């Protein structure tokens, strides 16, 4: 296959004809990247503040990741879970060391990691002689994925419409400890939460909430699942966002940035939960394969060797102050800025179409995404530079300046 043989508009036409139309795709085909830059099939350059939706932790074409993937592909890509493979065992060890958890299960996406966590919670109580503890308590405006269990936990109706009854989940307002306490009946197995609601619009938990939630779930014997799929792997300035709150959940789910763009998901749990899913109870053909595991191990090693988590805190400060300045300069267009580390957003005022803003930014060479109703989300590669952040803020500034509002 030679991608250069098709023009961008030919590719877009083929995509419109043959791809299942469940995405709203821009008529662009991306052909290559480097760090936090991307180029389309016509050679146009983009500053990538989207990062493959908070995925490309090491940026595009990081030489260490490229070399590790090529080396592993030349050795062995897939062996099945009938056997061990070194990258996978080492990855499990590394993740447990980094998070303080005891066991790691591997799958291929965020939603699968959430699904594994929900199944583990149910089966744990089944093995404890409490089979009535089946429900998950989640938060309004949350996003946990698209498989039926993860979708049930998701607290946004727009994702659920038309899919009929979903397995039992309860929802209360995000950050509301008293509502959580009231909803924690005898049928609730677990509480699942995002430390910062990503898809919901980059909404951080209120101060103290995560710590109080940990104490509450300990009181009631309910399992606490931290969905760190978007916030984990250093994105908010600590390896896990829960770390900043001084909290260790019972279960942590990771995906997105973990293997730098190679599909992977992971569910980590405490030793107390290690016997709830015995051999045969859960699994995945591709889960823990050597290729994805080696990529993830390389991401974790590179986060350390390039001190990317500390850098995320530093650059997060630069981004936050840049966004605050834009809010001050464009009060009729931006109502605020929020987030932490390299997961932040500028929030448009009501009445401005965020998709139109994103489309204009794209024509000017800036990639961003909309989260929630009106948040322009920044989730760049963790290797982004201060210069590229300034360039991105400059493009947003100019675009907001030209935007007319009633
Ligand atoms: C917090 C959170 N959980 C779960 C998911 C689902 O992950 P995936 O799209 O890899 O299935 C996402 C994806 O955006 C997410 O942000």
Percentage of the chain beyond pLDDT 90 is 97
Dihedral of CA atoms 111, 117, 118, 119 in degrees, nearest 10, equals: 110
Which of these three, 245, 276, 305, is where a domain ends? Answer: 305
Which domain does 108 fall in, by range?
76-305
- 328 and 365 both lie in a single domain: yes
- List Cβ<8 Å contacts ≥24 apart for 122-125: 122/189, 123/276, 123/277, 123/281, 124/189, 124/223, 124/273, 124/276, 125/189
What is the 194 CA–ligand 1 centroid distance (Å)? 10
The residue among 305, 335, 353 that closes a domain is: 305
97 and 23 both lie in a single domain = no
Q: Has residue 69 been placed in a domain?
A: no
Same domain? 336 vs 261: no
Q: Is the pLDDT assigned to residue 339 strictly greater than 90?
A: yes
**Pick from 148, 170, 158: nearest CA to 201:** 158
Question: Is the per-residue pLDDT at 4 higher than 80?
Answer: no
Ligand 1 mutation target, pool 53, 145, 195, 262, most atoms within 8 A of CB: 145
178, part of any domain: yes
* Residue pLDDT, tens place only, 99-108: 999 999 999 9
Residue 71 lies in a domain: no
Split into its structural domains, the chain has a count of 2
Distances (CA, A) of 109 to 26, 73, 113, 122, 227: 24, 20, 6, 20, 12
Distance CA 251, CA 64 (A): 30
SS (H, E, C) 262-276: ECCEEEEECHHHCCC
Average pLDDT over residues 259-268: 98
Mark whether 256 is an active-site residue.
Answer: yes
Question: Residues 107-155: pLDDT tens digits?
Answer: 999 999 999 999 999 999 999 999 999 999 999 999 999 999 999 999 9
325 assigned to active site: no
**Domain match, 271 and 134 both:** yes
The CATH number of the domain where 173 resides is what? Answer: 3.40.640.10
Long-range contacts of 276-282 (CB under 8 A, 24+ apart): 276/120, 276/123, 276/124, 276/126, 276/127, 277/105, 277/119, 277/120, 277/123, 281/119, 281/123, 282/105, 282/116, 282/119, 282/120
Predicted local confidence at residue 167, as pLDDT:
87
Cβ 229 under 6 angstroms from ligand 1: yes
Tell me the three state secondary structure of residue 345. Answer: strand
301/327 same-domain check: no
Pair (297, 311) in one structural domain = no
Percent share of the chain, pLDDT over 70: 99
Tell me, what's the pLDDT at 3? 46
Q: Is 144 exposed, middle or buried (0-12, 13-18, 19+ CB in 10 A)?
A: buried
CA distance 233 to 317: 18
Q: Are residues 281 and 376 in the same domain?
A: no
Other Cβ atoms within 10 Å of 319 Cβ, number: 28
**Of 267, 290, 305, which residue is a domain's last?**
305
The answer to whether the beta carbons of residues 113 and 265 sit under 8 Å apart is: yes
Do 103 and 200 fall within a single domain?
Answer: yes
Same domain, 86 and 175: yes
**Strand pairing class (265-269; 334-340):** unpaired
Identify the pLDDT of residue 267. 98
Looking at the domain assignment, is residue 68 inside a domain? no
Q: Are residues 114 and 234 in the same domain?
A: yes
The answer on pLDDT for 2 being more than 70 is no
Residue 46: CB within 6 Å of ligand 1?
no
Predicted local confidence at residue 168, as pLDDT: 86
- Tell me the CATH number at 394: 3.90.1150.10
Mean pLDDT of 254-276: 98
- What single DSSP character describes residue 260? B
pLDDT at 1: 52
Strands of the 369-371 sheet, one edge to the other: 334-340, 343-348, 375-378, 369-371
pLDDT in tens, 28-44: 999 999 999 999 999 99
What mean pLDDT comes out for the span 294-313?
98
Is residue 143 flagged as an active site residue? yes
Is the same domain home to 148 and 133? yes
**In this model, does residue 162 exceed pLDDT 80?**
yes
Q: Is 230 in the pocket of ligand 1 (CB under 6 A)?
A: yes
Q: Name residues whose C-beta falls within 8 Å of residue 78's C-beta, 6 or more positions apart in sequence.
A: 286, 289, 290, 291
In this structure, the strands spanning 188-193 and 196-197 are: unpaired
Residue with the larger pLDDT of the pair 4 and 334: 334
Q: Mean pLDDT of all residues in the chain?
A: 97
Distance 165 CA to ligand 1 centre (A): 21
Q: Could you tell me if residue 67 is inside a domain?
A: no
Domain co-membership, 28 together with 123: no
């Amino acid at each position: 296959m030679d991608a250069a043989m098709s023009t961008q508009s030919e590719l877009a036409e083929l995509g419109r004809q043959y791809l299942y139309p469940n995405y709203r795709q821009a008529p662009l085909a991306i052909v290559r990247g480097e760090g936090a830059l991307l180029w389309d099939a016509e050679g146009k350059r983009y500053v990538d503040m989207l990062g493959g939706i908070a995925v490309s932790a090491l940026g595009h074409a990081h030489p260490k990741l490229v070399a590790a993937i090529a080396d592993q592909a030349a050795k062995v890509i897939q062996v099945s879970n009938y056997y061990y493979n070194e990258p996978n065992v080492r990855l499990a060890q590394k993740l447990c060391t980094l998070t303080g958890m005891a066991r790691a299960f591997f799958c291929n996406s965020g939603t699968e990691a959430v699904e594994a966590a929900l199944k583990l919670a149910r089966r744990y109580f089944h093995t404890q002689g409490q089979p009535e503890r089946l429900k998950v308590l989640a938060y309004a405006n949350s996003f946990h994925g698209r498989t039926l269990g993860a979708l049930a936990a998701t607290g946004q109706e727009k994702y659920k419409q038309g899919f009929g009854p979903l397995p039992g989940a309860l929802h209360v307002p995000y950050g509301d400890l008293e509502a959580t306490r009231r909803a924690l009946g005898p049928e609730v197995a677990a509480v699942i939460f995002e430390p910062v609601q990503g898809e919901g619009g980059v909404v951080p938990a209120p101060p103290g909430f995560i710590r109080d939630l940990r104490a509450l779930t300990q009181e009631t014997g309910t399992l606490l699942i931290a969905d760190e799929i978007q916030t984990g792997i250093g994105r908010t300035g600590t390896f896990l966002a829960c770390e900043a709150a001084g909290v260790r959940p019972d279960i942590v789910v990771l995906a997105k940035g973990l293997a730098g763009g190679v599909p992977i998901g992971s569910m980590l749990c405490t030793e107390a939960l290690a016997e709830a899913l015995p051999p045969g109870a859960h699994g995945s053909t591709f889960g823990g394969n050597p290729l994805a595991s080696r990529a993830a191990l390389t991401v974790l090693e590179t986060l350390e060797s390039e001190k990317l988590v500390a850098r995320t805190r530093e650059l997060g400060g630069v981004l936050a102050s840049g966004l605050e300045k834009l809010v001050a300069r464009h009060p009729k267009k931006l109502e605020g800025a929020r987030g932490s580390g390299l997961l932040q957003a500028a929030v448009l005022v009501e009445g401005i179409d965020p998709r139109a803003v994103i489309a204009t930014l794209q024509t000017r060479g800036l990639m961003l995404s909309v989260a929630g109703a009106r948040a322009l989300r920044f989730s760049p590669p963790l290797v982004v530079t201060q210069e590229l952040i300034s360039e991105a803020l400059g493009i947003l500034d100019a675009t907001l300046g030209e935007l007319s509002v009633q």
